[in-house]
Amino acid sequence: MIVADLAPHPGSQGRSTLSRFAMPYTFGPDLSLAGALVAVAGCLTRIFSAVALFAVWGSLSVLAWSTIANGFFRVAAELPLLLLFLAGLAALMIAISTVERILAPHR
């Protein structure tokens, strides 16, 4: 028979019940209303801007890819287009995180 250990974990002493749950670091249980609004706005900005970047970049990549007549150069153009997209996406995410860190209320 398996019996649950009801003794509290030593690392959870002095913490509230909500702070013991495994949550992402952005939405902690001691988050203020202003901090929560900044975190939600940051998440939504990341989602919508990444989707917009993917749509615009994908459309322009297909347009650029279709104008290349040579099959070898078409294949050769795929890797730079992908790497430039990933670099742009990383720069966008870093910029959003920086703005979010500036706007977040300090404790």
10-29 confidence digits (pLDDT tens): 655 666 666 666 556 666 66
List Cα–Cα distances, 99 to 25, 72, 73, in angstroms: 17, 42, 39
Please enumerate, as own/partner, the contacts of 80-86 that have beta carbons within 8 Å and a separation of 24 or more: 85/53, 85/54, 85/57, 85/61
pLDDT on residue 33 = 86
pLDDT on residue 34 = 86
**pTM given for the model:** 0.69
pLDDT on residue 13 = 62
pLDDT at 73 over 70: yes
- Measure the CA–CA gap between 78 and 62, rounded to whole angstroms: 10
pLDDT at 107 over 60: no
DSSP E strands in the chain: the ranges are none
Compute the half-sphere exposure of residue 3: CA atoms within 13 Å on the CB side of its CA. 3
